[in-house]
Chain A
């Protein structure tokens, strides 16, 4: 068992998760594995014939999101790698945990109900329990306050 799994989807909501994983990597010396999941569910209502092509385009976009996170990790003096999987986000995180058995899994924690986050607080706890069951990893929740404040 080794490494820190940090599933991200890019954008502002991933900033706390990335910051938490970097902080943890600095403390433990573990490698960060940033995970991006290509999910094409939004295509179900149109353009089904484009699935193959758009899957590649979103894969490329995911690579950019991962590179951006890796760049931040590198600037903070930590080691990070990017991983891309395709499917449903929750299922792919579990599958990755089963395959790679990371030591830590970082999950974004919503500050309040209804905030733009993948899971509600209650469902997040259930999800964390599933991860623990799958790979015995320690699940850490991140939040906005984990983002280092920029100096003026």
Chain B
């Protein structure tokens, strides 16, 4: 085994199956075993190089029946951006009607990631 060879075990978080992955890097090359699908391989590669997470939270909703609106990022966000995104989510206030998938924050911090509503709320 060459000195820049590095093996790591990780649990795939792409879906609830939670595959146990063996990831080895040899210089630029990332080798993944233990994955059941191609998304697991992609996750492991990304986790080794630059970890990202989908963020789910709630923001204020101006509706007496539903004071909070569930929201999510439409793609995984770089780890170090999560705190800043959450600060923005918590200062947001949405007026119904709002549709599931509706963009609430577009292209957050030029990451290409949008914050979208994950629920439809009609006006009363």
A and B bind: no
Task: Please report A residues at the B interface, Cβ cutoff 8 Å.
Answer: none
Task: Please report B residues at the A interface, Cβ cutoff 8 Å.
Answer: none
